[in-house]
Structure 1
């Protein structure tokens, strides 16, 4: 007996007319779907928002006081925001200013030095040179107000011929070197002259003036020691690379791409490495002779102390290139941290415990 197919129940539909678009067309939606949507909407409406718990009176008063203090602090800054602009414009106008050297009135094309102070003006270049010598503020950047086209004025960098010399040292082999580039403690570039002699290496002579040389003999680029200190602290604490440090100096001091590239190529490698080793020598008060390093065995010490090396970070990045990461000289720290394999051949074999 064949089974008769079941008749499908007629589904009730609900006619909906569209009026928002203006077309007036109508379409049908199943009635069950409309009912489910209505039930869902009704349940959501019945689901009331839970009431906010009332805070104790003491906590509510404390919260109101904190909000009032925060609003007062914000309003105090907003009240003086425009005052900073007015003070800056008043300083630029330089009305009723006097020379800090001779205390006379300043001229229209005066000289201003922001490194000397906020209100440091000079009436002439002679007064400016009197307070900017090789032994007094040699790396300041004075600006002179010059008249340009259309009657406008603009601050232009004032040329300062700084000459470094040692008055207490007299030698017949002294000679004057011109055109040496110096990056000061802020990363700004200067052109200076230095008096050198054959009594010592030129790198030692430059160091007497607080400058670190890029090379030992006849250095053409020098770095201020405070600039190298800043680079070392940022590399250790901020974990930034030397390249990123030089790039930040470029944007801060408006250096050209060529000047920034020269700064990086002359600073990386030996110059920054040798300076960091010099700082290590100054900070370290413990020195060990080469004989003591070889005679005392770390595996079987005679004095009862034993040194155990648990692990070393051999995953450090090492640059591979023509000059990066390769040095012809012996390690600066000697065998303080690592021994050569030839020095370990005579030691007894020990069992490695993992």
Structure 2
């Protein structure tokens, strides 16, 4: 038994020593990666002093301006850096207009600048083409962006960011405030001021029904209500039967019901699915 614990301790010491030696190699490699030794494009091998790298492309190759625009000719939310004065500095590329193929043959088109929040919580200023034949939120959906407002939105969130927030709220009970603070904390200090416009306070925008509407949108996409006979999210996950209703009563009847917190302006989105309407509950207890 003693020999067994000795072997575990020896294996642990070897693992720690290997991790420390590997960490030093990783740090040295990262320092070399964040510097430029030869002023040559790694893609076309052209010698130039104007070198760039993309933090979102795999490999972060150092390329010239021509190769940079060639690799990012499509609409993107990548962060670009330029090699200047012996270090990489945030660089704003020339803004290209995001065009939807649906508006290709229409004449009533116009462009508008929006602040787009990507899947990592970074803010970008992008120019998007809209058409009077279609509402702006519908056009944003074509780019996997969720509008902050149903009318003339100025901010748009990437679907992946809001899905990540939705999952954390459901499984980890993370508040929207903590999520926004975590987005700020996870960014390296060199990338906190890469936006080309004054940073927006996304927490206030999210709480203006933005995240609640998106969560209901996800529910409608996951459970197609327009088709009869499909699961609407209320069926038993084991047998998919809902013939027998189940009723659960809150035990805290002595708590005072307060109205100082405000009143919802919208009707319940899952009415009669999970919760019984309050007037029916009051009528039930009145006739007991």
Band the TM-score falls in, shorter-chain normalisation: 0.7 to 0.9
**Contact 2:165/2:179, CA 8 A, preserved across alignment:** yes
Distance in 2 between residues matched to 1:213 and 1:326, nearest whole Å:
24
User: Which residue in the other structure is 2:160 paired with?
Assistant: 226
- Partners of 1:231 and 1:245 within 8 A in 2: yes
1:340 is matched with which residue: 270, 277, 280?
277
Equivalent of 1:130 in 70, 75, 83: 70
- Residue 61 of structure 1 aligns to a residue whose secondary structure is helix
Aligned-residue RMSD, C-alpha: 3.3
Does residue 310 (structure 1) correspond to residue 248 (structure 2)? The answer is yes
TM-superposition CA deviations, 1:40-87 (whole Å, max 9, x none): xxxxxxxxxxxxxxxxxxx12212211111111111112223212221
SS in 2 for 1:182: strand
> Residue 107 of structure 2 is aligned with which of 163, 169, 172?
172
1:46 corresponds in structure 2 to none
Classify 1:141/1:130 alpha carbon distance in 2 versus 1 (closer, same or farther; 3 Å). same
Cα distance in 2 for residues equivalent to 1:313 and 1:240: 25
The alpha carbon displacement at 1:266 in A equals 1.0
2:171 aligned with 1:237: yes
Q: Could you tell me which residue of structure 2 aligns to residue 38 of structure 1?
A: none
| Matched residue SS, 2:183 | helix
- Distance of 1:141 and 1:282 partners within structure 2: 31
Contact 1:114/1:120 (8 A) holds in 2: no
- Mapped pair 1:120 → 2:57: no
Larger radius of gyration: 1
> Could you list the runs of 5+ residues in structure 1 that have no partner in the other structure?
1-58, 290-303
Determine the structure 2 residue equivalent to 1:73.
Answer: 15
**Runs (4+) of structure 1 moved beyond 6 Å?**
344-350
Residues in 1 aligned to 2:215 and 2:94: alpha-carbon distance in whole angstroms: 31
Matching residue of 2:210: 271
Deviation at 1:163, TM superposition (A): 1.7
Aligned with 1:89 (options 18, 25, 31): 31
> Given the superposition, is the C-alpha separation of residues 211 and 121 from structure 1 closer, same or farther in structure 2, using an over 3 Å criterion?
same
1:200 aligned partner: 134
Among 141, 153, 156, which residue is 2:79 paired with?
A: 141
Q: Would you say 1:111 and 2:52 are equivalent positions?
A: yes
Structure-2 separation of matches of 1:288 and 1:307:
22
- Inter-partner Cα distance in structure 1 for 2:81 and 2:19: 32
Structure 1 residues 38-77: aligned runs within 5 Å: 59-77=1-19
Deviations 1:288-307 (A, max 9, x none): 99xxxxxxxxxxxxxx9432
> TM-score under structure 1 normalisation?
0.65
Determine the structure 2 residue equivalent to 1:31: none
Matches of 1:267 and 1:326, distance apart in 2: 18
Deviation at 1:344, TM superposition (A): 7.0
What does 1:287-306 correspond to in 2, within 5 Å? 305-306=243-244
Give the 3 Å change call, closer, same or farther, for CA 337–349 of structure 1 in structure 2: same
* Gap change, CA 1:111 and 1:318, over 3 Å in 2: farther
1:319 and 1:90 map into 2 onto residues whose CA distance is 60
Mapped to 1, the partners of 2:50 and 2:24 lie a distance apart of 29
Deviation at 1:349, TM superposition (A): 8.1
How many equivalent residue pairs?
A: 265
Give, in angstroms, the shift of residue 286 of structure 1. 5.8
Inter-CA distance 318–263: structure 2 relative to 1 (3 Å threshold) = farther
2: CA distance, partners of 1:165 / 1:243: 33
Residue 97 of structure 2 corresponds to residue 155 of structure 1: no
Structure 2 unaligned blocks of 5 or more: 229-241
